Amino acid sequence: MTKQKTRILVVDDEEIVRESLAAWLQEDGYRVEMAPGGEIAIERMRSGQWAVLLVDLKMPGVDGLQVLEEARKLQPDASVIIMTAYATVDTAVKAIKMGAYDYLVKPLRPEELSSMMERLITQQDMMRENILLKRALKQQYSFRDFLSKSDKVQAIFDVAKAAAGSASTILILGESGTGKELLARAIHEESRRKSGPFVAVSCAALTETLLESELFGHEKGAFTGAAFRTKGKFELARGGTLFLDEIGDISTKLQLDLLRVLEERRFYRVGGTEPIDVDARIIAATNRDLRKAIDGGTFREDLYYRINVIALTIPPLRERKEDIPLLVEHFLERLCIETGKRLEGVSAETMDLLMSYRWPGNVRELKNILERGAVLVRGPIIEPADLGLPLSEGDEGQEGAESLREMERRHILKVLNDHDWNITRSAQALGIDRVTLYHKVKKYNLKEEEC
């Protein structure tokens, strides 16, 4: 920023002090305004943006440290310089701890003030450049809201962007929490259907009958309790995208119904006789191995080929650990806005821990753990203790596929026991949804008495 664009507020109760300092700074080209006391300074902070605040420590009423405290809340990007003629180590330490940029003892040599101002403006410029650079990098690494710098995911982005322009059905594969719905939304946003709705339905969350009605709608009186004609998700997604999540969990009967709809591009409401055209791009997703499900006879091969026109497999977070620092920064940025806290980042130890953890709940788990950290942290830096991550997860790479399953089993069991087998709270702690947790409990045959 040029000096002409740098706004400085000089706060001092003595007129000659603030006027002479303001004049001195104006000669350098800064845009300087003055406040004759703490109260007015706080008012000015509410109504305008300042790059630098030069504040006298001792003022009647609201003093310099109180102005500093308010500035941290109202103008977190501003650099506050406390000035005093009566310096004490205590107040200096206090001011710096409270976030003052510097603590000046009057009078200063002119070159000291000049070089401090130059240094400060350079630092602010660098910070601004840093933010812009990070933003540009983020854009380079993102497909809409999906962030990743991994080569594997970048290759997926390329295919997804190309696929977005077509009408083809897309199958997104990946473990729970990898961001399948986020990718589906990104494809929708990138497609010609972006002005239409994006309708998501979790196929695993509903029983067969309910899901049928949910997908296709029903006519009045189609079944007990069907008091009105209701539109299904296929109709609601008209002109847009229908996202069928957990498609590997639907019953064989519904698989057949769905296959027909996809082939004929039309469907009937439950209890209806009039065919309705499908006018939605279908994106399906699952965390299951559909090949195995076909071999096991639980998933129709013909439906698999129908939905698997373009397949995108999102790698789990443990296979793209280079994304962890990027995602941490991204989530903390959002958490700062949501919580109003001034979080600077995570400590080196915390980052080591995050990098060595295996992330069974993938990006969702990382997000939840950071959210917990943001709530519990007392200072601006998140430390390992704020996260509550299981410490035994650190020694990756020494175990084979079997022990990884065992590790997941043990971890889920521990979390369930920690939360008295409350599924909702355990799922939240694991960073996975309740349905996935039920699947895992079933898969590992976990029981409450097991410890």
Q: How far apart are CA 424 and CA 412, in angstroms?
A: 13
Q: Does 131 bind other proteins (CB under 8 A)?
A: no
Could you give the 3-state DSSP secondary structure of residue 236? Answer: helix
Report which of 449, 433, 265, 271 is spatially closest to residue 364, judged by C-alpha positions.
433
Where does 142-207 have alpha helices with state H? Answer: 151-164, 180-190
Alpha-carbon gap, residue 137 to 98, rounded angstroms? 32
In whole angstroms, how far apart are CA 13 and each of 38, 91, 220?
8, 19, 76
| CB of 114 vs other proteins, minimal distance in Å | 6
Nearer to other proteins, 16 or 401 (CB): 16
* Least separation in angstroms between CB 21 and other proteins: 5
Segment contacting other proteins by CB under 8 A, of 15-23, 93-101, 385-393, 398-406:
15-23
Which amino acid is residue 377, in one-letter code? Answer: V
Part of the chain binding other proteins (CB under 8 A), chosen from 18-26, 91-99, 162-170, 333-341: 18-26
- The phi and psi torsions of 105 (rounded to 5 degrees) equal -105, 120
Asked if residue 3 binds other proteins (CB under 8 A), the reply is yes
Residue 391 interacts with other proteins (CB under 8 A)? no
Least separation in angstroms between residue 17's CB and other proteins is: 4
27 near other proteins (CB under 8 A): yes
> Please, which residue, 32 or 282, has the CB nearer to other proteins?
32
Q: What is d(CA 337, CA 204) in angstroms, rounded to the nearest whole number?
A: 33
Q: Which of 23, 93, 131, 132 binds other proteins (CB under 8 A)?
A: 23
Q: Least distance from C-beta 363 to other proteins, angstroms?
A: 48
Helix axes 423-430, 362-376, angle to 10 degrees: 90
Question: How many Å is the Cα radius of gyration of the chain?
Answer: 29
- Indicate left, alpha or beta for 246 from its phi (over 0: left) and psi (-120 to 50: alpha): left
Stretch that binds other proteins, among 10-18, 139-147, 275-283, 293-301 (CB under 8 A): 10-18
d(C-alpha 451, C-alpha 443), whole Å: 17
Which of 7, 13, 17, 336 binds other proteins (CB under 8 A)? It is 17
Instruction: Based on the shown chain and the rule CB under 8 A, indicate whether residue 366 belongs to the binding site for other proteins.
Output: no
**Cα atoms in the 13 Å half-sphere on the side-chain side of 266:** 8
94, burial (CB in 10 Å: exposed 0-12, middle 13-18, buried 19+): middle
Q: Cβ 16 to other proteins, closest distance in Å?
A: 5
Whether 8 and 33 have beta carbons less than 8 Å apart is answered as: yes
Residues numbered 99 to 118 that lie near other proteins (CB under 8 A) are 104, 106-111, 113-114
What does the block give as tokens for 337? Answer: 């806005």
Q: How far apart are CA 375 and CA 387, in angstroms?
A: 10
Matching residue, tokens 């350079």: 122
Query: Taking phi first (over 0 means left), then psi (-120 to 50 degrees means alpha), and beta for anything else, what does residue 421 get?
Result: left
Query: Smallest gap, in angstroms, from Cβ of residue 116 to other proteins?
Result: 12
Nearer to other proteins by Cβ, of 26 and 313: the residue is: 26
Instruction: Please identify, using beta-carbon distances, which residue of 28 and 383 lies nearer to other proteins.
Output: 28
**Minimum gap (Å) between residue 83 Cβ and other proteins:** 7
Shortest Cβ 3–other proteins spacing (Å)? 8
Give, as ranges, the residues between 78 and 97 that touch other proteins (CB under 8 A): 83
Which of these segments, 14-22, 246-254, 274-282, 317-325, binds other proteins (CB under 8 A)?
A: 14-22
Of the two residues 10 and 170, which places its CB atom closer to other proteins in the complex? 10
Segment contacting other proteins (CB under 8 A): 20-28, 275-283, 346-354, 403-411?
20-28
Cβ closest to other proteins, residue 117 vs residue 387: 117
Single out the residue of 288, 186, 277, 286 nearest to residue 239, CA to CA.
277
Distance of alpha carbon 381 from alpha carbon 138, whole angstroms: 22
**Minimum separation from the CB atom of position 36 to other proteins (A):** 15
CB of 383 to other proteins, least distance (A): 40
Contact between 29 and other proteins per CB under 8 A: yes
- Out of 26, 49, 209, 424, the only residue in the binding site for other proteins (CB under 8 A) is 26
Q: What's the maximum distance between 2 C-alpha atoms anywhere in the chain?
A: 90
d(CA 134, CA 4): 26
- What residues line the site for other proteins (CB under 8 A)? 3-4, 14, 16-17, 19-21, 23-24, 26-29, 83, 104, 106-111, 113-114
